[in-house]
Amino acid sequence: MIIQALNNREFLMKPITQDKFNELLEEFGEDQLARELDYLQKRGLVQDGAVRIGVVDDEPYSFNIHKMGLTADGVDCANADTLGNKLNVVNIKIHESTIKNLEAMIRAVNLPDEDKKTLLDMVKEKGAEAVV
């Protein structure tokens, strides 16, 4: 994904190097690179002016590597779990003590021993999310 290739965690929002640009051209080709950069630019994730579509008479687009860096929103997007964000997914870390408490609750609940064993096996095998 191009946004990941533009992401420089050491120098946030810094434009890419000529070498990196050449790698992107080789990987994606000029047409795809131009279209994807244009999209990211319009979404405010890449600096304005990184690519211009249809502004040069003899070329369908022009690139400006000095503007080919992420914006603050682009950095946030590149460093986030974007699929999880779009799906409104929340990850919850369940600590070992919570699992032990869950096991104790299962043992104390009014269920047949066979059902308790099944639930306890599920917790041990697949974690707390299997029974919650």
Q: Quick one: pLDDT at residue 58?
A: 73
Q: Please answer whether residues 105 and 35 qualify as being in contact, where contact means their C-beta atoms are separated by less than 8 angstroms.
A: no
Confidence of residue 85 (pLDDT cuts 50, 70, 90): low
Q: Quick one: pLDDT at residue 27?
A: 92
pLDDT digit string (tens) for 52-63? 988 666 778 889
Please compute the mean of the pLDDT values over residues 58-86 and round it to a whole number.
Answer: 80
41 closest CA partner among 65, 8, 70: 70
Confidence of residue 70 (pLDDT cuts 50, 70, 90): very high
Q: Quick one: pLDDT at residue 121?
A: 87
Token pair belonging to 14: 């810094």
Please compute the mean of the pLDDT values over residues 52-78 and round it to a whole number.
Answer: 85
